[in-house]
A and B are shown apart, each in its own frame.
Chain A
Amino acid sequence: MPNLMKRLRKLKTVLNVRVGTGAAIFPSAATATPEYPAVTRLHLTYARKIYGGHQGARHFWRNCLTRLKYHNPGVPMTVKQTENQEGPASLTVYFAEKLSKAASLNTADKDEHAPAPSATEKTATVDVRNLNYTDIWMKVKNMTGAQEVAATEKEQEELQKIEQEAQKSVKDRARIAAMRQAKLDHERMLAAAKGEAAKLSQG
């Protein structure tokens, strides 16, 4: 098992799942309004490599989708990675019963990889090619009326602490690298001097 300090440090990354871009709660059946119906499912399709505008979609999965999943544990989220670099990168949002007003404005083609909606679900497909992940998140937020979860004071503090530690590690890394380099230089110098001495004694 990795040592305890490493594990403790690793566990701090859990904070990144709770707060950040995409940390928000979708309207559920209990909190749905006529304007924003409940979100029942999400599906994302994008191609394996980043060229052709698929980068943002992948980043959305990595950054936002984990946070969304944490705050909406009951909403199934699926991701399909295709081999078709020219194909679409699209996000399908499934609403209960009807689309929200903002979602109905989307006219992207249906995603063939997305699971079929049930009888009570309506889907809205967003074309996310050539968008970065924050843009995708803004679109999703506007469509669904998701309520963002702000970081608490304690979490803010912890985030700051992690940030400070990261800055300190940059400095420390430079300092240690300099020390190691100095030691190497010293050794090299000694070896060279030894070589010279050997040459002199031979000659």
Chain B
Amino acid sequence: MAAPLFSGYQQARGAATARNKQAVERKKRDKAARSLAKGKKGPREFKQKSLKDMEQFALCDAMRYLRAFEVGREPAVAKYEVHIRLKTRRDGPVIRNMIRFPHSVQTESRICVICPPGSRHAKEALAAGAVLVGEDEVFEAVKNGRIEFDRCLAHPDSMAALTKAGLGRILGPRGLMPSAKMGTVVEDVAARVGMLRGGTVYRERDAVVRLPIGQLGFSPEQLRDNLRVTIDQVKKDANNLQDRITKEIYEVVLSSTHGPGFSLNGEFKSEDTVDPALLTGA
């Protein structure tokens, strides 16, 4: 009598363990699912809303509206901006680069180049449009508080002299101290001067590349040229990323310093566009 009871007990225990095993497994699965849900930070890709309801504009029409919104502003100060929305994953590499426009957006930035005076680099830098070139004279001017430039580059040959002059305390807080990390200590000074004069730095943030592409006084043709160059370069940047990463342009939005954003349809003008020649200047 004891044996069956015992065995029955055993069986019961065995059954219990079997059931337990199942329960444990189920629990494990649940936990795995939960941790997966917890570990996953939402969808892999940025959500792309359908642009079905979005009214899209030809470039000239968008410009006409933006110029109305910017009325009375200084035409060299107010800028057209472009926002390029990309179709991309949330993680992975981002696009970041520098661009040179056919029509310069920034009002002239003055560049100082620190390199041995009289050297080949000095001559080239001057030719490329630097306003201040030299070593001791630059140091002297800076020490006297005359900082008449808004970008500063240095040639590696001058680095020793630069550190000895101890300008870090003056130039550092202004963000003008050349350093290799910032890419402001370069061999080919002249090329970099050229880049800085007409160049704009851009990068992708949350799947959007934003950058100013023109002054308000630009004609539609000028803006079209700049826009075309920008889009081509962003496409090229996207192709130059690693093989497995694909980025595509999803939407291009034209906006301005004080205006709303107009989604562009890729056309230059539509049927009811005014004469593009009128969309220039103040």
Residues of A at the B interface (CB closer than 8 Å) are 1, 3-4, 7-8, 10-11, 13-14, 17, 44, 61, 65-70, 73-74, 76-79
A34 vs chain B, min Cβ distance (A): 25
CA distance A8 to B55 in the complex (A): 8
Q: Give the most central of B68, B208, B279: most A CB within 10 Å.
A: B68
Q: Are B253 and A1 in contact (CB under 8 A)?
A: yes
- Give chain B residues whose Cβ lies under 8 Å from the Cβ of A66: 68-69, 71
- Give chain B residues whose Cβ lies under 8 Å from the Cβ of A70: 64-65, 68
A65 touching B64 in the complex, CB below 8 Å, given contacts A73-B279, A77-B282, A78-B282: no
Please provide the 10 A-B residue pairs with the shortest distance between their CB atoms, ordered closest to farther: A79-B72, A74-B278, A70-B68, A69-B71, A76-B282, A4-B49, A69-B68, A73-B278, A66-B68, A65-B71
List the count of A-B residue pairs having beta carbons below 8 Å apart.
64
Minimum CB distance partner of A75 in chain B: B278
Residues of chain B in range 61-79 having any CB-CB distance to chain A below 8 Å? 64-65, 67-69, 71-73
Q: Are A8 and B53 in contact (CB under 8 A)?
A: yes
Confirm or deny: B85 has a beta carbon within 8 angstroms of a beta carbon on chain A: yes
CA distance A73 to B69 in the complex (A): 12
Report 21 cross-chain contacts, Cβ distance below 8 Å, ordered by A residue: A1-B83, A1-B206, A1-B253, A4-B51, A4-B53, A10-B261, A11-B55, A11-B261, A61-B72, A65-B71, A67-B68, A68-B71, A69-B67, A69-B71, A70-B64, A73-B274, A73-B279, A74-B274, A77-B72, A78-B282, A79-B72
- Give chain A residues whose Cβ lies under 8 Å from the Cβ of B101: none
CA distance A14 to B261 in the complex (A): 10
Minimum CB distance partner of B73 in chain A: A79
A7 touching B54 in the complex, CB below 8 Å, given contacts A1-B83, A66-B68, A66-B71: yes
Confirm or deny: B218 has a beta carbon within 8 angstroms of a beta carbon on chain A: no
Residues of chain B in range 263-280 having any CB-CB distance to chain A below 8 Å? 274-275, 277-279
Selected from B53, B67, B73, B206, the residue in CB contact (under 8 A) with A73 is B67
- Give chain A residues whose Cβ lies under 8 Å from the Cβ of B260: 7, 10-11, 13-14
Confirm or deny: B281 has a beta carbon within 8 angstroms of a beta carbon on chain A: yes
Confirm or deny: B262 has a beta carbon within 8 angstroms of a beta carbon on chain A: yes
Q: Are B69 and A17 in contact (CB under 8 A)?
A: yes
Minimum CB distance partner of A13 in chain B: B260
- Give chain A residues whose Cβ lies under 8 Å from the Cβ of B65: 14, 17, 70
- Give chain B residues whose Cβ lies under 8 Å from the Cβ of A7: 54, 260-261
CA distance A64 to B217 in the complex (A): 21
- Give chain A residues whose Cβ lies under 8 Å from the Cβ of B281: 76
CA distance A44 to B206 in the complex (A): 41
CA distance A77 to B49 in the complex (A): 38
CA distance A3 to B51 in the complex (A): 11
Q: Give the most central of A4, A17, A68: most B CB within 10 Å.
A: A4
- Give chain A residues whose Cβ lies under 8 Å from the Cβ of B55: 11
CA distance A76 to B274 in the complex (A): 15
B271 vs chain A, min Cβ distance (A): 16
B163 vs chain A, min Cβ distance (A): 44
- Give chain B residues whose Cβ lies under 8 Å from the Cβ of A13: 260
Minimum CB distance partner of A43 in chain B: B72
CA distance A17 to B64 in the complex (A): 11
Q: Give the most central of A61, A66, A67: most B CB within 10 Å.
A: A66
- Give chain B residues whose Cβ lies under 8 Å from the Cβ of A11: 55, 260-262
- Give chain A residues whose Cβ lies under 8 Å from the Cβ of B71: 61, 65-66, 68-69, 77, 79
A137 vs chain B, min Cβ distance (A): 15
CA distance A44 to B71 in the complex (A): 11
CA distance A13 to B261 in the complex (A): 11
Minimum CB distance partner of B273 in chain A: A73
Residues of chain B in range 105-119 having any CB-CB distance to chain A below 8 Å? none
A145 vs chain B, min Cβ distance (A): 20
B254 vs chain A, min Cβ distance (A): 12
B149 vs chain A, min Cβ distance (A): 30
- Give chain B residues whose Cβ lies under 8 Å from the Cβ of A3: 49
CA distance A4 to B69 in the complex (A): 21
New contact pairs (13) apart from A1-B207, A17-B69, A76-B282, CB-CB < 8 Å: A1-B83, A1-B208, A4-B49, A7-B54, A8-B53, A13-B260, A65-B72, A68-B71, A69-B67, A73-B274, A73-B279, A74-B274, A78-B282
